[in-house]
Structure 1
Amino acid sequence: MAHVLSVGEALVDVVRRPDGAVAEHPGGSPANVALTLGRLGREARLLTWLGRDARGDAVRAWLAASGVTTTPGSDDAPRTSVARATLDASGAATYDFDLDWQVPAGSPVAADTLAVHTGSVAAVLEPGATQVRALVAAARPTATITYDPNARPALMGDPAQARRRVEEVVRLADVVKVSDEDLAWLSGGAAPLDVARAWVHDLGAPLVVVTAGGEGATAVTDHGEVHVPARPVTVVDTVGAGDSFMGALLDGLWGADLLGAGRRAALRAVDHATVEDLLSRCVAVAAVTVSRAGANPPWATELEEA
């Protein structure tokens, strides 16, 4: 069955709130993307690295409840990784990690994979990062490649070195979703849209979408730029917001018949009206996510009722 394959970390977020309360939620950027797709009614699979332990069981149950399946070998890790998120008064999160990541041995991309998504820790933390780049390169002749750098400074070290690793994946990608904060960190303070333009015009990505929280999102293509404002919402926290945006973007591209290597030329030629429609749905999904605690994206029925 046609599907999107998300490749990368699934883990447990241990979230500490400003009042000192602590709660555990399943998460991980690529896992959140797959979860969003599943809730929007798409066939989503996750290639990840979980332990056969209580936290791994919690993550698997969380994924399965939204229709996401993990690929063979994804539960062969010695333990399930943990990300500790500390929320400030605005709901924004900072992270530190106890994380092990690698691609399970013998993980080919199936012929009916429309798109391969990766990002965040999976694309920069070795030994998995080199394995991810090889998998993405092998999948590119048949599948759309999407990427969200989702920078984690606590893990990625020197920004200049991190940018070099990130741009290796950008060169392979058809669609990049990246936050303005990530671009500012990676570029040493350069204007985020200037970096996005370079990724389109110099590195060859057909579509780069820059998210800016409450300021909305801007798409950069070969043919110009499209901006969509954010939806007004009371923010509970921002955990998983960018991932739900990315999942919604994949869902929209699928609905617009723009996934699959055979649709690469159509993606590069996408018109502004289509891009605006895509971004509008993405900001709607992200608005629901930030309105409630944890990485909890909406179901398709919630969007229909909104």
Structure 2
Amino acid sequence: MRIAITGEALIDFTASEAGTLAFLGHEGGSPLNTAVACARLGQPTGFLTQLSTDLFGERLMHFLERNGVDTRFILRSDAPSTLAFVERAPQTNRYAFYTRGSADATWAPEPLPRLPADCRILHFGSIALLQEPAATRIMELMAANAGDRVIVFDPNVRPSLIPDMAAYRARAMNWFAMADLVKLSDEDAELLSPGRPVDMLAADCLQAGARAVIVTRGAGGATLWRTGHEPLAVAAPRVKVADTIGAGDTFTAGLSVSLLAHGVEHPARLGELGDDAWREVMRFAAMAAALNCTREGADPPTLEAVRGALMQEDLARAGNR
């Protein structure tokens, strides 16, 4: 196991037609999507959560196993599965979550799982941080691994689940402090720091303790901030978009997979990567996210698909010179 991810796993019910109550169910949840994406991109990946023994939990477990995700650290419970209902909109998606008392929200392993020595990257974030006792145990897991493994944080802010945004923003600074790499969408950034330039929020994250901050802007590409360096931007590949669900999760997965390919196995290595290496890492992540968007639902690409698309892009650029 090279990458470990903790957080929720749920069933996304997506509206099949605007204005109706017809929904189609899909395995989902930001951490689950990221775990599946990492596995499809060729890195041994484990998932740490608690799944229900209900029919949805069984589907989630089988889905993870089919995609090659290591499930040895998954606990089981007779609590219900988390459910999410998603209404697509042209630029974003609207969500309604049913989480109270769910299996993943009540994840509280005792003792904390001990990750294998070859696990070098650990992810946390998303709505699991809004539920107790899971939120407390997740933070304890991060603290136990701080300084040894690269800790990646993706807040995946869902305002419909946050009754007090001011309190949430204050808590977010603690999460930034636990992370080596912070990945935010531009929507996350606006919710966390409304009305302020993104670079000011990035500076706050770096001051809190993060070594690198990346903000994605959908078709607008992504930008990296590091202390002592100028911001570094990459463009998003041009694709025909079928759906944006899972794009951010796939981008986050692409970052971790490419960082490992560049030898980043310890937090200190993040600060040693040069601009060219970071550009390659972000370009890989952007291509993975773009390919996910060409299909309905969260459907991350394989490593071979991303490599092939990058090669085609390189050939096209060479032909235009």
Class of the TM-score when normalised by the shorter of the 2 chains: over 0.9
Q: Which residue of 2 aligns with 1:249?
A: 255
Q: Which residue of 1 aligns with 2:281?
A: 278
How many matched pairs? 300
> Quick one: structure 1 residues 77 and 163, their matched pair in 2 at CA, closer, same or farther if it must change by over 3 Å?
farther
Matching residue's letter, 1:75: R
Greater shift, 129-138 or 265-274, is seen at 265-274
Q: Which residue of 2 aligns with 1:238?
A: 244
Percent identical pairs in the alignment equals 32
Question: Cα RMSD over matched residues?
Answer: 1.5
Query: Residue 47 of structure 2 contacts residue 73 of structure 2 at CA under 8 Å; is this kept in 1?
Result: no
Matched, 1:174 2:174: no
Q: Distance in 2 between matches of 1:59 and 1:17?
A: 21
Q: Distance in 1 between matches of 2:74 and 2:288?
A: 31
Matching residue's letter, 1:270: L
Q: CA deviation at 1:35?
A: 0.4
Q: Which residue of 2 aligns with 1:187?
A: 193
Q: Distance in 2 between matches of 1:272 and 1:64?
A: 37
Query: Residue 92 of structure 1 contacts residue 237 of structure 1 at CA under 8 Å; is this kept in 2?
Result: no
Matched, 1:15 2:14: yes
Q: Distance in 1 between matches of 2:187 and 2:199?
A: 11
Q: Distance in 2 between matches of 1:51 and 1:240?
A: 22
Q: Distance in 2 between matches of 1:193 and 1:63?
A: 36
Which residues of 2 match residues 134-283 of structure 1 at below 5 A?
134-200=140-206, 202-222=207-227, 223-259=229-265, 263-283=266-286
Q: Which residue of 1 aligns with 2:87?
A: 86
Greater shift, 236-245 or 122-131, is seen at 122-131
> Can you list the C-alpha shifts for 1:229-276, whole angstroms capped at 9, x where unaligned?
1111222221111000000101011111112xxx32221232111111
Query: Residue 193 of structure 1 contacts residue 210 of structure 1 at CA under 8 Å; is this kept in 2?
Result: no
TM-score by length of 2: 0.89
Q: Distance in 1 between matches of 2:62 and 2:176?
A: 32
Q: Which residue of 2 aligns with 1:3?
A: 2
> Can you list the C-alpha shifts for 1:57-108, whole angstroms capped at 9, x where unaligned?
11112111211022345222512111111112x2621111111313342332
- Classify the secondary structure of the residue corresponding to 2:213: strand
TM-score by length of 1: 0.93
Query: Residue 185 of structure 2 contacts residue 215 of structure 2 at CA under 8 Å; is this kept in 1?
Result: yes
Matching residue's letter, 1:185: L
- Classify the secondary structure of the residue corresponding to 1:75: strand
> Can you list the C-alpha shifts for 1:182-241, whole angstroms capped at 9, x where unaligned?
1101112212222012211x1121111000111000011112211001111222221111
Q: Distance in 2 between matches of 1:141 and 1:236?
A: 40
Matching residue's letter, 1:257: G
Q: Structure 2: which 5+ runs fail to align?
A: 310-321
Query: Residue 242 of structure 2 contacts residue 296 of structure 2 at CA under 8 Å; is this kept in 1?
Result: yes
- Classify the secondary structure of the residue corresponding to 2:151: strand
Greater shift, 5-14 or 124-133, is seen at 124-133
Q: Structure 1: which 5+ runs fail to align?
A: none
Q: Distance in 1 between matches of 2:116 and 2:46?
A: 14
Segments of 4+ moved more than 4 angstroms:
none
Q: Distance in 1 between matches of 2:306 and 2:115?
A: 31
Query: Residue 49 of structure 2 contacts residue 73 of structure 2 at CA under 8 Å; is this kept in 1?
Result: no
- Classify the secondary structure of the residue corresponding to 1:171: helix
